[in-house]
Amino acid sequence: MLQSKRRKEAISEVSSELGISEQEVERLAAKLASNERFVEQFLRKLDFRIARRVMLAMVGGGLLGALIPKSLAAGGGVICDFVEAEKQRFYPAAVGPYSAIINQEENYVWAEDCYGKTIEDGESEDAGEVIQAGVDYVYSKGGGVVWIREGEYSIGAEITLKPLVNLIGAGREVTKLKLAYNGDMFTAPSDARLNSQRIAHMTLDGDKANRSAGSAFNVYAYRTFFEDLVIKNFPENGLVLKGVNWQGDNTIRDCFILNNGNIGVKLDSQVSDCTLYNVWIGNNSLGLEAHVIFEANTIHVYGGQVSGSIGMKLYNSALIVNSYFEKFGKQAIIVDSSERWTGNINLIGCWVKSASMDANNTHDSILLDATGGNPIRQVKIIGCIFNATETNKPRYHIRENGDVDKTIISLCSFANHQTGAYSTVGANDVIANNVT
């Protein structure tokens, strides 16, 4: 029944594309299926984009015999040659080079290789299977680029990313992937972690109003770039990065991570040396959580903006420069030593605004919490601005709690607090040249 339906749809589509009757489509298909020379002549008379749609419709609708699929094979056949020549005119300006490309037109989605051969196709209700087929195909060839064209793609099952396979959209405003089931959108296991690749230029929407579970990424990753992404509305987390043997070196650049139910960015204890450039982490329950266990394995944050219930929760070393923290229900930053000795955290040239938005204003802008049994040492807060609205003053802008020492607070400006600018307990703290 499905084959019959697809055949009718294909006939109607080709009829519309070519401006001929459905009976003429049937006769044309029969001639194409029996004469390869005629295929070449037919294709060269058409614009490449029309030819591509026509041939895809005919193949998908079962209108062609064994000859045409054979001629579509990579590396041989007239259609392959035609596509290879014509795509140089059309595709480079539109999408650039690729190993596989994902397309969607109305209720039909398909993946094709760089020669135009279909890798996988299906109904648009679950584009995830087609994207997965494209990823698997490129991985089987040793890596490359899976390009996702403009459109909104419904993801009804998790997509397992593979090493050395780049996943690139046409732009975050035009390539949109929307979660359509209760589970993670992208995963990568520890024995096949992401490695030396890019995921870029698209929007990922978790549709949390209609979903009860799922994160955008729950992946093991090494030397992977996440760039120009919008990651929003996931019921659980935005971006969860895991590591093996303290290897990471991942980069998150020019991304918006917004309105996720739990954590915006989570870095586990086996991830090291991750860097965030110009990342806006907004309105998540917790913006960034970093569980890094070696002092040398620093989380670097340059620029960007953070807002939400809690901005950042840091369990070890970090360098945070020129970043903006605004509108918190609780703390902008918590330094937590409950997992291990914690230190070497540097906050340089940042602006922290509007903390403690609960009814009783019981929270602090930055809390150094060493009540979990391990000390906190060598936190440096240099050249930062702390202020708040009159109605949302924090208790303290900086408060030490427990075994905290050797904190440096210098060249900072403090305004609009309730009890004091800072509350320190360390015998060797250095507090100098601040404006309160």
Over the chain (436 residues), what is each successive 10-residue block's mean pLDDT?
Answer: 65 82 83 68 65 68 54 45 48 56 87 83 85 94 92 96 95 96 96 92 97 97 95 97 79 96 89 88 91 64 89 90 88 91 92 71 89 93 92 89 96 92 93 93
Tokens 């499905």 map to which residue?
Answer: 2
Residue 421 lies in a domain: no
Structure tokens at 252: 């998150």
Report the domain count for the chain: 1
H or E element in which residue 420 lies: strand 420-423
pLDDT at residue 59, as a whole number: 65
Residue 264 lies in a domain: no
- Distance spanning both ends of the chain, measured CA to CA: 77
Structural domain containing residue 35: 2-88
Residue 69 lies in a domain: yes
Residue 55 lies in a domain: yes
Which residues lie below 8 Å from residue 4, measured CB to CB, with a gap of 6+?
A: none
Residue 415 φ/ψ, nearest 5 degrees: -145, 150
pLDDT at residue 67, as a whole number: 43
| Beta-ladder partners of 267 | 241, 290
H or E element in which residue 122 lies: strand 118-123
Q: Which of 220, 323, 224 is nearest to 277 (CA)?
A: 323
pTM: 0.79
**Cβ(248)–Cβ(267) under 8 Å?**
yes
Residue 16 lies in a domain: yes
Residue 63 lies in a domain: yes
Which residues lie below 8 Å from residue 31, measured CB to CB, with a gap of 6+?
A: 38
Cα gap 246→268, rounded to integer Å: 9
Q: Pairing state of beta strands 251-253 and 194-205?
A: unpaired
C-alpha dihedral (269, 273, 277, 282), degrees to nearest 10? 10
Cα gap 416→354, rounded to integer Å: 9
Cα gap 427→77, rounded to integer Å: 79
Residue 125 lies in a domain: no
Our measurement of the distance from residue 405's CA atom to the centroid of its chain's CA atoms, rounded to an integer in Å, reads: 38
Residue 120 lies in a domain: no
